[in-house]
Structure 1
Amino acid sequence: MDSADYTEVALRLANADLTDVESVRAALHEEPWWADRVRDSDLPLLREVAEGLRRALSAMVDAPDSADTDPESPDPDGPDPDNAVRAEVNALLAAHPPRPRLSGHGGRDGTPNWHVHVAGPDAPAVDEVVAAAAWGLAQGIVHHGTRRWGRCQAEDCRTYFLDTSTNQAKRFCSPRCANRVHVAAFRARKRA
């Protein structure tokens, strides 16, 4: 995996239904080496880390746009969203530090597919998942800053996403949500 993949893990964990192991496995379906080893006893830790991820994402998403604030009169009593993000992500990294190790396996013709794992070879799957999520969010912020993160604007969907579009105008987590909202708006206009 690379840092972009770990950023996806962070988003999937933050957005996951963590009510039971099957829901977690569904969220981690792209990482079967983790999903197949998740246990009921892992759920409290996964929920705790997901909540920390959501707090950090919320701090980024709900931060006032720099265009909306007056640089001449900053609010000295207001919270600094960047400090909130930094505190949340650093707390996740401190509690679930990545322990990087180089790995090479699964390549073609005997050539290893080189990549980095964020936990030791004997670590429980949950340790690697939470370390990957913490590291992924941190790397996502390093590569994309704090203003490219969003929350789906569909009424019944609050999924977080990373907006990598050129114009940074993404409002929905997926084409499915965008289509539902646009079709509903079209039908409402037709009725009016």
Structure 2
Amino acid sequence: MDSADYTEVALRLANAELTDVESVRAALHDEPWWADRLRESDLPLLREVAGGLRRALAAMVAGPGHAQDETVRSEINALLGTHPPRPRLSGHGGHDDVPNWHVHVAGPDAPAVDEVVAAAAWGLAQGVVHHGTRRWGRCQAEGCGTYFLDTSTNQAKRFCSPRCANRVHVAAFRARKRS
């Protein structure tokens, strides 16, 4: 995994409905080596970390300001302090005897939850380092509220997905047609 992937893990965990282990597994669908090993007993820690991620994201979405920046800094540093990444170089998963070099953020024997929370903390920190605090958003579709990273050139993204954007635009079109 690279830092962009870890940023995605942070967003998935922050946006996940952490009601049961299946909802977490669904959110981490692209990381089955973690998701398949998570247990119900991991949920309290995942909820705690997701809360810190959400507080940092909410501060970034709130807009520029010293107080918001301090909240981002303190929330992410608290996560990193409590769930520090322990980077290690790995070279498995390649083809034709050529390793697929990448970095894991926990030791090989660490519980899956330790790697997930370290990856989320590291991912959000790296996302802020690479993109700053102004490119984060929250979906403006009614009833959604999913956090996202806006990597568009014009920084005009308002929705988390084409699905939400289409739903809002179709509803607006229908409302205009009725008028």
2:92 is aligned to: 105
CA deviation digits over 1:57-94, x for unaligned, max 9? Answer: 00000124x7xxxxxxxxxxxx6211110000000000
Counterpart AA for 1:127: D
2:167 is aligned to: 180
Distance 1:95 1:103 in 2: 24
Distance 1:85 1:30 in 2: 27
CA deviation digits over 1:40-63, x for unaligned, max 9? Answer: 000000000000000000000012
Counterpart AA for 2:43: L
CA deviation digits over 1:72-131, x for unaligned, max 9? Answer: xxxxxxx62111100000000000000000011111111111100000000000000000
1:63 is aligned to: 63
2:20 is aligned to: 20
- 1:72-91 mapped onto 2 (5 Å cutoff): 80-91=67-78
TM-score, with structure 1 as normaliser:
0.92
Distance 2:84 2:93 in 1: 26
1:136 is aligned to: 123
Distance 2:101 2:173 in 1: 49
Q: Which runs of 4+ in 1 moved over 4 A?
A: none
1:183 is displaced (CA, Å) by 0.4
1:45 is aligned to: 45
Counterpart AA for 1:58: A
CA deviation digits over 1:3-51, x for unaligned, max 9? Answer: 0000000000000011001110000110000000000000000000000
* Pick aligned residue for 1:160 from 147, 164, 168: 147
Task: Give SS of 2:137's match.
Answer: strand
1:150 is displaced (CA, Å) by 0.1
Counterpart AA for 1:158: G
Task: Give SS of 1:161's match.
Answer: strand
Distance 2:157 2:92 in 1: 37
Task: Give SS of 1:121's match.
Answer: coil
Q: Percent of pairs identical after alignment?
A: 86
Report how many aligned residue pairs link the two structures. 179
Task: Give SS of 1:126's match.
Answer: helix
Q: Is there any run of 5+ residues in structure 1 with no aligned partner, and where?
A: 67-78
